Structure 1
Amino acid sequence: MPSDPSKTRKGEDDGSSWAHPLEELKAQQRVIRAPNLEDPGYIRQKANNKLWVRERIAALLDLDSFVEVGSVTGKPAVDDKGDLVSFTPANSVTGFGRVRGRKVFVTADDFSVRGGHADGGIGVKAPYGETLALRYRVPLIRLLDGSSGGGSVALYLTLGATYIPTLAGLGRSMDAMGVVPVVSALLGPVVGLAAAKAAIGHFSVMVKGLSQLFAAGPPVVKQATFENLSKEALGGWEIHATNGTVDNVATSELDAFLQIRAFLSYLPSSIFEMPPVSTSSDSPDRREEGLISIIPRRRARTYDIRVLIDMVVDKDGNPYSEKSSFFEIGATWGRSIVAGFARLNGRPVGILTSDCMMNGGAIDALGSQKTAKFVTLCNHFGLPILNLVDQPGFAIGSIAERNATIRHGASAMAALYQATTPIYTVIIRRAFGVAGGAFADPDDGFGNRVAWPSGDWGSLPLEGGIEAAYKRQLDATSSPEEREKLMNELLAKFEEVRSPLKTAHKFGVEEIIDPRDTRPLACEVGGTFAPFG
């Protein structure tokens, strides 16, 4: 047998076995799987400080777990003797692999081949992979770089005609989303079809300074709108990681892969399985003394909600961080709302709450969108939600009205009300107005709910409510000093009925608990939250 299978010529075997065709296959695979250091596309990829497509797959998946599908898809070139001279692979590498031992399917763009356009490979390859993920009921991971198989005008010349655009397999993406987790890493300029794929999924992460997202790139934009923009100015992370198009931001490609691995660790492989339970070394009976004082007695003061979360959830079980099991999703957008996955006694749960350091915690249009998306995600994959309520109400003012806050807020309210996954509600401080009611009472009167002694609720916050209810009396005072005096008298009168104990006396809140008991109570019945032990 020749020492170099890539130089095997036709007709050199005796026809008694399939050794020669197998060697021909292996020769092509070896050429495809080794980078061509002289290829302009590969040189450009490295010049831009980007990993090659197969380096990405190796970094993402468990060691040696990748099993390729379509390994010799592409265009081989042979000389007149039948020797393999070169091989231009398809610009999509697909196959099965494992993430933390669980099977997944990966579709990865190779930007070094025609920038990922459809005329650089076989257009059906990536959609076929998404169909396999759906049929095998395994998570789908997309590594996006370029147009992800979208077209370019150069294809018109190859075909000899133009064509009516199709969805190019996006229907398969939507089918997959209904059954398995679908995640995307944006690893370069993500344009057109790839941009749509990034938005059609359960989780997406882009790399700061390396990736951008847009419906059309700068040259097309300049022609259409006369805007002369760089890729970063048009669709960098500061745009799309703050408007909610992309969930998270990574500092590097490897960081993006770590975030994807962490995200998937909390979810089942499909809707037909239960979320994965792990063994935790953190006692479910742990009582954190810091919880008794984390909410300030002065109601206008702020506190760090993420510190509070870390004190309640498991200390371990997060592959991305050793700080706690809390893995935040969407930290850079809709910032009045804090959402993410965590573990309680080893069981994955969703965490939903507000950040009082951002506009006082009032929920705005983006916060509403974030809430609806996250609650729908947890409900779809069967993750219970620990709902820590400190909600002063919907954002108000002219900007809030122009941003259609109440319309987006209605979607968040509907997502909470329609969720069938267990929601354990803990009112830790405020619950005011329609938004406060939606969060504090998502099941419309029949949910699992407790409150801390710091609870403060009503149709309106007292200060603003008194201004509205007693406007005539306040305006009739003779001086600012008299007005302030009357205001203080009214506040003192209402303070007597403000205590959450008064509400509990009338069964307006089911139970008031010691904040230090929040973790033991939340862990008590595992994944089917119940408020009492």
Structure 2
Amino acid sequence: MAWEKEIDELARRTELSQRMGGAEKLKRHRDAGKLPVRERIAALVDDGSFREVGGLAGTGSYDESGELTDFTPSNLIMGRARIEGRPAVVMGDDFTVRGGANDGAVGDKMIVAEQMAHDLRIPLVRLVDGTGGGGSVKNIELKGHTLLPRLKSWPYIARNLATVPVVGLGLGSVAGLGAARVSASHYSVMVKDTAQLFVAGPPVVARTGQTIDKNDLGGSQIHTRNGVVDDEAESEADAFARARRFLSYLPSSIFELPPRAEAGRHAAENQQALRNAIPENTRSVYKIRTIVETLVDAGSFMEIGRHWGKAIAAGLARIDGWPVVIVASDPYHYGGAWDRQTAEKYMHMVDLAEQFHLPVVNLVDVPGFRIGLDAEKEGVMRAGVRALTAIAQSTVPWCTIIIRKAFGVAGGGHQNADRFNFRYAWPSAQWGSLPIEGGLEVAYKAEIEASSDPEATRARIEKRVRGLTSPYRSAEAFVVEDIIDPAETRAALVEFAHIAAPLRQAGPARFGYRP
């Protein structure tokens, strides 16, 4: 057979590339509770769909006659596959080869993977388990010189954030550029207990005088609470399922529109229950997620970032099959008031909606920005201004349901005031420049203090003013367009979703995505 020798050599090199770090290191990897990278890819993508690119890249050893004697494969595996039937690019670090550090042309492969996703206009999933191209101290001896950090891959990473859906999964101890690659995504996940993320790991940190375990330094219990990473998975299988589900709501790129689900277009919950969802006592809390799950298609709400920015419950859902972004106030955290993290999370969700042409459904119960010394120290106003700017820049359709409070500057940011948006209020709604409770002592201070019975005077003034705060008074003045029976909200959202669908326009957003 012609080229028999060359074909045999190809088969041999292919076999060598498949062995990864070898049996001993693979066993150690499994004993740590982690899947080898090739099994990770197989578990993520549709069966048999992965087509590797650059599988022969690595470092070969040769004898004096130029014959290959040994081969260390690249510790970055990448290629094309299908996820839920749609094309995607997948790249994964192989920790069993030099801990996933820069080796065997991994830097070039990383750039090609990013290019491939961008130019083919298909999603990118990064399985990160190592420094991911940042190099290691041992590289200095191997190369004979040190490298000046250039971040050659970062322009491609930034460009992809503005073009295709990007998912970052932290599956082991990731530091430096590897940590950045997890966070530089539209959706990021860490596996609880087996994944850690840090600027520098414990050995480097120890030089500063801090001796700390890797999980205490950078475990998911830290980074899914501070917003560096969106969500925490119980296992690798859970992380892969989350990635697949996230991508199902999004188009393959900004040049397409989000797909409508073919099945499951009904709401499972009793809509009449919404009439009792909001307590009469304005200081009482309620479960916002129950309200969201009642309104959206059954089982379609995928919450993102539950453990950070907790004054809103946010994520993706479907209304009669149409994908939407959900932002919903959660009174269990500061009564729904925006702290810095909440404002940042709000902006994150608005940017996601704008980038991938997703209408926004906003359930509002916002007493304003968080107040007090801690709020001022954390710089809530700067973060709040950034979120309000993102809302003002938004062009996708919005539907706002004011379910209880909408006060102050934060309450005013419930939609873009410069364009038409759907807006409804429940009978439980109340709004103003500030809550009555906080404003009476200022506005009527002299009258209250001059009274012989300040408490009775205050109560009398509050009753009089509250009589003017009814949402029906506002509706008479057309301050709010419509007040609806909460049980009719689902029908209003279905109408919104159908009207919004043809208004969505594929193409680049007016501004790049802000990770």
Q: By the TM > 0.5 criterion, same fold? A: yes
One-letter code aligned to 1:217: G
Aligned equivalents of 1:417 and 1:23: distance in 2?
A: 62
Does residue 434 of the first structure (1) align with residue 417 of the second (2)? no
Q: TM-score, normalised by structure 2?
A: 0.93
Aligned counterpart, 1:133: 117
Aligned counterpart, 2:333: 358
One-letter code aligned to 2:357: G
CA positional deviation for 1:513: 1.0
Does residue 72 of the first structure (1) align with residue 43 of the second (2)? no
Aligned equivalents of 1:467 and 1:444: distance in 2?
A: 34
Aligned counterpart, 1:4: none
One-letter code aligned to 2:201: G
Aligned counterpart, 2:454: 483
Aligned equivalents of 1:256 and 1:284: distance in 2?
A: 27
CA contact (8 A) 1:285 1:519 kept: no
Residues 525/308 of structure 1: CA separation in 2 closer, same or farther (3 Å cut): closer
**Matched-pair identity in %:** 44
Stretch of structure 1 that moved more, 280-289 or 301-310: 280-289
Q: Find the partner of 2:475 among 504, 515, 518.
A: 504
CA positional deviation for 1:286: 8.3
Aligned counterpart, 2:314: 339
Aligned counterpart, 2:444: 470
Residues 285/242 of structure 1: CA separation in 2 closer, same or farther (3 Å cut): closer
| 1:56 aligned counterpart, secondary structure | helix
Aligned equivalents of 2:445 and 2:18: distance in 1?
A: 76
Q: Find the partner of 1:517 among 488, 491, 496.
A: 488
Aligned equivalents of 1:355 and 1:448: distance in 2?
A: 21
CA contact (8 A) 1:288 1:311 kept: yes
Aligned counterpart, 2:292: 309
Aligned equivalents of 2:15 and 2:403: distance in 1?
A: 60
Stretch of structure 1 that moved more, 263-272 or 157-166: 157-166
CA contact (8 A) 2:230 2:305 kept: yes
Aligned counterpart, 2:511: none
Aligned equivalents of 2:6 and 2:284: distance in 1?
A: 74
Q: TM-score, normalised by structure 1?
A: 0.90
Deviations 1:432-470 (A, max 9, x none): 01111111x432474221111111101111111112212
Aligned counterpart, 1:395: 370
| 1:425 aligned counterpart, secondary structure | strand
Aligned equivalents of 1:84 and 1:283: distance in 2?
A: 61
CA positional deviation for 1:90: 0.4
Q: Find the partner of 2:241 among 255, 258, 269.
A: 258
Bigger relative contact order (CA 8 A; separation at least 6)? 2
Residues 213/36 of structure 1: CA separation in 2 closer, same or farther (3 Å cut): closer
CA positional deviation for 1:475: 3.4
Aligned equivalents of 1:284 and 1:227: distance in 2?
A: 52
Q: Find the partner of 1:23 among 8, 29, 33.
A: 8
RMSD: 2.0
Aligned equivalents of 2:202 and 2:498: distance in 1?
A: 48
| 2:285 aligned counterpart, secondary structure | coil
Q: Find the partner of 1:380 among 344, 355, 363.
A: 355
One-letter code aligned to 1:507: F
Aligned equivalents of 2:417 and 2:469: distance in 1?
A: 24
Q: What 5-or-longer segments of structure 2 have no aligned partner?
A: 502-515
Q: Find the partner of 2:417 among 423, 443, 468.
A: 443
CA positional deviation for 1:340: 0.2
One-letter code aligned to 2:7: L
One-letter code aligned to 2:98: R
Deviations 1:351-403 (A, max 9, x none): 01110011111010000000011101111100000111111100000000000
CA contact (8 A) 1:182 1:202 kept: yes
Question: Of the two, which has the highest radius of gyration?
Answer: 1
Q: What 5-or-longer segments of structure 1 have no aligned partner?
A: 1-15, 316-323
One-letter code aligned to 1:515: P
CA contact (8 A) 1:45 1:51 kept: yes
Deviations 1:303-335 (A, max 9, x none): 1000000000001xxxxxxxx100000001010
CA contact (8 A) 2:20 2:97 kept: no
Deviations 1:265-315 (A, max 9, x none): 000000000101112344479861111110111211111000000000001
CA contact (8 A) 1:389 1:427 kept: yes
Aligned counterpart, 2:89: 105
CA contact (8 A) 1:60 1:257 kept: yes
Aligned equivalents of 1:78 and 1:58: distance in 2?
A: 32
One-letter code aligned to 2:235: S
CA contact (8 A) 1:422 1:528 kept: no
Residues 281/166 of structure 1: CA separation in 2 closer, same or farther (3 Å cut): closer
Aligned equivalents of 1:59 and 1:45: distance in 2?
A: 17
Q: Find the partner of 2:32 among 28, 48, 53.
A: 48
CA positional deviation for 1:83: 7.7
CA positional deviation for 1:86: 4.2
Stretch of structure 1 that moved more, 160-169 or 382-391: 160-169
Aligned equivalents of 1:444 and 1:197: distance in 2?
A: 36
One-letter code aligned to 1:502: R
Residues 232/436 of structure 1: CA separation in 2 closer, same or farther (3 Å cut): same
| 1:118 aligned counterpart, secondary structure | coil
Deviations 1:480-505 (A, max 9, x none): xx332222211211121121000000
| 2:206 aligned counterpart, secondary structure | helix
Residues 274/126 of structure 1: CA separation in 2 closer, same or farther (3 Å cut): same
